[in-house]
């Protein structure tokens, strides 16, 4: 599984990543992760996901999340991708990956 998260979208991903019950890869884009979320949380993530791709938007600007999600999917050999972000970005990532035949999931905002 590839988990793609932005900002506080890491929250719903954490229990799955930390449980380590299935092979997973994390792609997370957020503002200054250590300052925003604290060293202990980042260290916990890296302890179970040493290859996690954490993009600091303060340092590097906003990334192309579709490109990063696809790269992580290809690199990891995952079966699917889940994206936890705002509505616009989630739909962009999910639809771009689905159009390539990749199982991709995100919130559906139907209520």
d(CA 111, CA 43): 36
Containing structural domain, residue 62 = 2-106
Provide the CATH number for the domain around residue 78.
3.40.50.80
Asked if the model's pLDDT at residue 75 lies above 90, the reply is yes
Residues with Cβ within 8 Å of residue 92, at least 6 apart in sequence: 65, 66
Residue 76 burial by CB count (10 A; 0-12/13-18/19+): exposed, middle or buried?
A: middle
Whether 39 shows a pLDDT value over 80: the answer reads yes
- Average pLDDT score over the chain: 96
| Cβ neighbours around 46 below 10 Å, total | 13
Distance CA 22, CA 64 (A): 26
pLDDT at 14: 96
Residue 85 resides in a domain: yes
| Predicted local confidence at residue 109, as pLDDT | 76
Residue 111 lies in a domain: no
Number of domains the chain contains = 1
Query: Measured between alpha carbons, how far is 37 from 80 in angstroms, rounded to an integer?
Result: 27
57 domain-assigned: yes
């Amino acid at each position: 599984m590839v988990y793609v998260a932005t900002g506080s979208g890491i929250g719903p991903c954490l229990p799955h990543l930390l449980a380590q019950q299935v092979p997973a890869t994390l792609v997370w884009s957020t503002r200054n992760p250590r300052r925003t979320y604290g060293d202990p949380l980042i260290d916990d993530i890296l302890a179970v996901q040493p290859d996690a791709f954490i993009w600091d938007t303060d340092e590097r600007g906003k990334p192309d999340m579709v490109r990063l999600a696809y790269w992580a999917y290809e690199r990891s050999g995952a079966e699917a991708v889940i994206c936890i972000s705002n509505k616009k970005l989630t739909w962009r990532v999910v639809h771009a990956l689905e159009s390539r035949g990749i199982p991709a999931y995100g919130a559906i905002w139907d209520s």
